[in-house]
Amino acid sequence: MASINKKLVTEKRNPKSTKIDEMKTEEILSVINSEDKKVAKAVEKEIKNIKKAVNITVENMRNNGRIIYIGAGTSGRLGILDAAECKPTFKIEDGKVIGILAGGKEAMFESKENVEDDKKLGAERISSYDLNKNDTVFGITASGRTPFVLGAVKEARKNNNFIVGLSCTENSKLSRLCDVAISPIVGPEVLTGSTRMKAGTAQKMVLNMFSTTVMIKLGKVYCNLMVDLNPQNEKLRNRAQEIFNIITSANKTDAKKFLEKANYNLKEAIVMYEKNINRDEAKKVLKDNNGILRNVLG
């Protein structure tokens, strides 16, 4: 049987799984698990590039910039997922982290493969967000050649935006258009061309590392505690109280009292308690320290 697209690693056949349809269940699972173990190593090799993307994005966001993920299929869905999770985890403002998926909201739940071939549509979608010079545009495509993503990135390039590209192919078309290329090479998939597997796992890891580190550098974490979480339900309100207790050593009664005074803004409540000041004063102290609790508490 002939191999498929020898030049593109994401489309190569994996010699370890060529007879996977003849294997027993445990053997199949072992092959998949063995291949998945390669993903973290591939991502580790890209830490320096991820660092560059983080540092520039942090400065951009301090100057009213946004993160705009754009992708198609699995890659685009992972961008949407990361963007959606930033708000409850870090209480990021609406519209500060955006996910654009080829095919729109419907494509999140139902495959719309044809739209990913439209460069013009990618350019139009990114343009609709009225790019400012401090936005980070983050293209995501396992193959590094998806036209929808390339069209968007080329349009952002005209606006002189900082562009990050995430693909699982060496020297991809996407990487040549970017300021920073992140390319974890995970090798051929267990199922030939099924980039929702190792490539998707690598992309999810990179996006988690990128967005989490950006938010840490922006002061949304104290120690390893999510001090900017958005406590909109009972579980998160309880978590906010626990974090308050850990940082201040206060009792549960005081934790609840100060959080209620601060309308469950955790950082404000902590500063009110530790500095013995009112909420308006706590807001000013935090603003004067760029919202970084570490700078306030020492």
Catalytically annotated residues: 85, 116
The tokens of 46 are what? 């890209």
Q: Which two tokens stand for residue 233?
A: 């339900």
**Lookup: tokens for 108:** 């999140």
Report helix, strand or coil for 96: coil
What DSSP character marks residue 15? G
Which has the closest alpha carbon to 207: 87, 86, 94, 126?
86
Strand, coil or helix: 98: strand
Cα(147)–Cα(154) distance, rounded to whole angstroms?
10
Q: What beta strand segments (E) does the chain contain?
A: 67-71, 97-101, 136-140, 162-166, 180-182
Nearest-5° angle of CA 229, CA 232, CA 236?
55
> What are 179's two structure tokens?
């300021």
Amino acid letter, 9: V
Q: How long a stretch of residues is the chain? A: 298
Furthest-apart CA atoms within the chain: distance in Å: 74
Distance CA 145, CA 122 (A): 13
* Run of H or E including 47: helix 47-62
